[in-house]
Structure 1
Amino acid sequence: MLNVSIAPLEVQKPSQPLLSQPINLTEVFPNSSRLFVGFSAATGTATSYQYILSWSFCTNGGSLQTLNISRLPEVPQPRSEHKNYSQLITILLGFIATMGLGVLIGVYLFKKCKYAEVTEEWEKEFGAHRFSYESLYKATKGFNKDGFLGKGGFGEVYRGTLLLSREIAVKRMFHNDDQGVKQFVSEVVSMRCLKHRNLVPLLGYCRRKHELLLVSEYMPNGSLDEHLFDDEKLVLSWPQRLVILKGIASALCYLHTGADQVVLHRDIKASNILLDGEFNGRLGILEWLGFMTMESMHAQQEPLEL
């Protein structure tokens, strides 16, 4: 019996079928025939869902299995496009968040390796006089050649700008012997106690792997030898030269008699005399420290005591 009933999904099955027709399929399909059983449906241009919850079929002439309507599964609800979009957005946001976290971790590890420093227990007492390598790296724009001031026997000097537009000079030295580093740092901190208007103020230091970095104030007019021997530089007048000589003499007098302990410079020359913005002579401690300390490291000589 072929029964056709039509009703909305929320309404119970109609008691009377819309179409009822007895069909003897054994006459249509003999027992020896191969049968293919399937279902098809069409809705034209409309979109709809068709579900077959249960079916029974028999070809040997026996009785069909009785269908228990009460035990049929529930009709699955169609998936809304809104939920699909929500799931897609959730997955996409999760992927973006994971990638972003990975990038942040990568940047953190890169910066940690890039700005890694060497800090030992004995350096804690000098912590207030130590610059971070990151701050000096950024101040000199990665030790850019545009800020290169010169190269001496023991390192290179770069111009830099700290926060609040404070200009500095950074002397970058390399070494292979760590034995003299502690004494070097002690001397740097001791030199910060030297206060005189004709001494270049030494601000602090930094240590990274096999690098030693000394930080002092930047002298905008360069060194005295540039103005004496470089034709492209401004020629100093005799009064200016006299002021410079008096300033250096005053600085030496302070080192020999005015400081807490006698200090001998040992490397006074035109290239170690720097000129500030008003062409006052300043004796460079930074250059002398590099000479004294690196000589001690390589030759194993005792450096000059303060």
Structure 2
Amino acid sequence: MVTPGNFVAAILVFVVLLFPAASSAKTPKSFTFANFHPTQFGSVFDVKGDASISKEALQLTPDTLNNAYNLLNKSGRIMFPVRFKLWEESSYSPTSSNISLNNSSTELDIVASFNSTFLINIYRTSNESGGEGFAFIIAPDLEIPSASFGQWLGLTNATLDGNPSNKIVAIELDTLKQDYDPDDNHMGLDIYSVKSKKTVSLSKFGIEISPVKATNYSVWIQYNGTAKLMEVYMADGNSDKPSSPVLSEKINLKDYVKQYSYMGFSASTGVRAQLNCVLKWELTVEDLPEEKDLKWVMIVVGVVAVALALSGIVVAGFVYYNKRRVVNDPNILGALKSLPGMPKEFRFRELKKATNNFDEKLKLGQGGFGVVYKGLLPQNIHVAVKKFSRDNLKGIDDFLAELTIINRLRHKHLVPLVGWCHKKSLLLLVYDYMPNGSLDSHLFGGSEKTLNWECRYKIIAGVASALHYLHDEFDQRVLHRDLKASNIMLDSNFSARLGDFGLARALDNEKTSYAELEGVPGTMGYVAPECFHMGKATTESDVFGFGAVVLEVVCGKHPCTKIGGFQFLVDWVWTLYREGRILEAVDVSLGEDYDAQQAERLLLLGLACMHPIAGERPKTPNIVQIISGSVPPSVVPHFKPAFVWPATSFSVGSSMLNTAATTPMTSSYYGSEKSEWTPRCESRESYVMKVQ
């Protein structure tokens, strides 16, 4: 049967087949690998030489400390087998005699921008010096040259090195000094050769590529195709991207790489060995359109105009009919698969087997939208499977809302999405499993080991970084709408991972709020007071929830804890602040083992974020600066202001106040220090994916 969806899809397919460029734009292709598995060998990655995929990492050279296994004179490459178009055709072509970094044919060349961010561990064995090196590579094919071990880094060999025909550009991390190297700890920009066109010693940045103590490093390689500028940043794996690059150089990639090239990694060992591991990788490449043919443009314009007119008529005729059929429409699969950067689609039987038929013993958490189970995939891969409980139209809306937001989010403090599944009316999402569970379970779950101060401070900083990304750094402003300790997961390093986007909504950047038509979103104790009056979530209400989490982590108490005659933790802390005793709010289980200056800074930040007047709360950029110590703590009034509605200083605009009462009123919820109203606080759960 013909439906509007089928009709429009057929038109779009016809247009794409007839003239691919007509439906192509310079939009990025993004790929994220939060970890790696042996099953990706050959299916996701092309693995050559002595490389392998094991221990949840890309192993560019053999990864073993077994002395019986030879680690010397090895080389390997692991490439992502997607061919990227990196530049447009022009009449300029460099020769071997005119190669230089600044010989760009023209600043008007169309060259693709890209970002490659990865986490590496390069470890020397037996406390010996490391050798030889590691590289991120742009190559014309997926092959590895023979005899590319030793000084050749898996990039070239004695025959190919320096030959422009090899069309290789790489960023190397070299750990063994050759005659042409500045030292044995440097970064280099390689063009056709391992003799770098530019090198930078990393010692002056406090970075040792292959230290005695195994260390993870994050590397950010950013290429601006408009400015023809290559910038590389490097820092400890637990740090954010530095403000200044380690290496920066003008280079027109069009002059040095093939129009269609591949990206990946290479490494080698020689008379000395090291382990060369990639633990995570995010790659985004600008998608350049294919070549155009003008006569087809005119044809396509005509076809599209007619097709759109017809499709408009058909859609209008079927709109009501389709509203009733959308729940069971198999075309939902097409919609899901068309999402950019879409993660893996799992078969239902895979997830059923992984969770032992959704065994209650494997349940990690439960909320209004679904249940989360621990799962075990082949190759001993642990995951968390969120099974939506609603099989109606609202359930699909919830599922798509979460999926369309999460699949494009890329941040180290967000829970990574692994994949999804849709079977008839059954909807499932698959996430990375966080081995240390939720923050809530560690604070209140009877854990034998108390989270120390350093860990707590790091967790708060991570959540702040994630919230700043959602509000100000992503291409759309995303409201989480349910910030709380049970929605903050802890990975193997006890780093914070914010999750559970079942209530999240993306906003157009010019908008400031999202209206929740079915009532107030979120969890009691974390919900901003204005939300009860306007039924809207805003960035300010997210900040309020973050403030509640800050106090919860520092004090070791729930936001709606009855203490000192108060109904809410924030009122008690505010009173201690007024009386000059704010440090008495710090979790007693820490004893004296905490930084008093940091504790005061966080407590004041928590109070500032929970200010009853939304417009007085700090924004996320300021929050991140306060936590880092780069700006002073927030200025907080000693007496907690009363909540007044409507609040003239509220930043969402007067149009939102029309639904409120025309005369100001105070609220009993957070409005006074000793409210007689007792809220029903939510019970704790052990996993981030729980949605209210």
Runs of 4+ in 1 over 4 A off after TM superposition: 300-305
User: Match of 1:194?
Assistant: 409
Letter of the 2:443 counterpart: L
User: Match of 1:79?
Assistant: none
Structure 1 residues 263 and 233 mapped into 2: Cα distance closer, same or farther (>3 Å)?
A: farther
Cα pair 1:203 1:216 within 8 Å, conserved = yes
Find the partner of 1:247 among 458, 462, 470.
462
Cα pair 2:370 2:390 within 8 Å, conserved = no
User: Match of 1:142?
Assistant: 357
User: Match of 1:123?
Assistant: 333
Structure 1 residues 234 and 151 mapped into 2: Cα distance closer, same or farther (>3 Å)?
A: farther
Structure 1 residues 187 and 173 mapped into 2: Cα distance closer, same or farther (>3 Å)?
A: closer
Letter of the 1:199 counterpart: L
1:288 matched to 2:498? The reply is: no
TM-score calculated relative to the size of structure 2: 0.24
CA deviation map 1:170-227 (0-9, x unaligned): 1112114225625732640441110111000122322234432121110001101111
Find the partner of 1:270 among 463, 467, 485.
485
Cα pair 1:180 1:297 within 8 Å, conserved = no
User: Match of 2:370?
Assistant: 155
Displacement of 1:131 after TM fit?
A: 1.9
Mapped partners of 1:303, 1:137: distance in 2: 38
User: Match of 1:111?
Assistant: none
**Structure richer in helix, relative to its length:** 1
Counterpart mapping for 1:38-117 below 5 A: none
Structure 1 residues 266 and 249 mapped into 2: Cα distance closer, same or farther (>3 Å)?
A: same
Letter of the 2:410 counterpart: K
Cα pair 1:185 1:205 within 8 Å, conserved = no
Letter of the 1:270 counterpart: A
Mapped partners of 1:140, 1:150: distance in 2: 14
Letter of the 1:157 counterpart: V
Mapped partners of 1:119, 1:136: distance in 2: 22
Q: Percent identity?
A: 42
Mapped partners of 2:460, 2:404: distance in 1: 27
Displacement of 1:272 after TM fit?
A: 0.3
Structure 1 residues 298 and 215 mapped into 2: Cα distance closer, same or farther (>3 Å)?
A: farther
Displacement of 1:265 after TM fit?
A: 0.7
Letter of the 1:235 counterpart: T
SS at 2:379 equivalent? helix
Displacement of 1:164 after TM fit?
A: 2.7
Displacement of 1:143 after TM fit?
A: 1.2
CA deviation map 1:40-91 (0-9, x unaligned): xxxxxxxxxxxxxxxxxxxxxxxxxxxxxxxxxxxxxxxxxxxxxxxxxxxx
SS at 1:263 equivalent? strand
SS at 1:254 equivalent? helix
SS at 2:501 equivalent? helix
1:177 matched to 2:392? The reply is: yes
Find the partner of 2:348 among 124, 127, 133.
133
Mapped partners of 1:281, 1:189: distance in 2: 22
SS at 1:169 equivalent? strand
Structure 1 residues 247 and 175 mapped into 2: Cα distance closer, same or farther (>3 Å)?
A: same
RMSD between superposed Cα atoms in Å: 3.1
Find the partner of 2:446 among 231, 256, 259.
231
Gaps of 5+ in 2: 1-327, 506-514, 522-534, 539-692
**Structure richer in strand, relative to its length:** 2
Cα pair 2:388 2:426 within 8 Å, conserved = yes
Displacement of 1:268 after TM fit?
A: 0.3
Mapped partners of 1:267, 1:183: distance in 2: 14
SS at 1:288 equivalent? coil
Displacement of 1:303 after TM fit?
A: 11
Structure 1 residues 253 and 149 mapped into 2: Cα distance closer, same or farther (>3 Å)?
A: same
Mapped partners of 1:186, 1:124: distance in 2: 16
Q: Which has the larger radius of gyration?
A: 1
Cα pair 1:226 1:233 within 8 Å, conserved = no
Letter of the 1:177 counterpart: N
Which deviates more from structure 2 when the two are superposed, residues 161-170 or residues 174-183?
174-183
Number of equivalent positions:
183
TM-score calculated relative to the size of structure 1: 0.53
Mapped partners of 2:537, 2:425: distance in 1: 23
Mapped partners of 1:252, 1:181: distance in 2: 26
Structure 1 residues 238 and 249 mapped into 2: Cα distance closer, same or farther (>3 Å)?
A: same
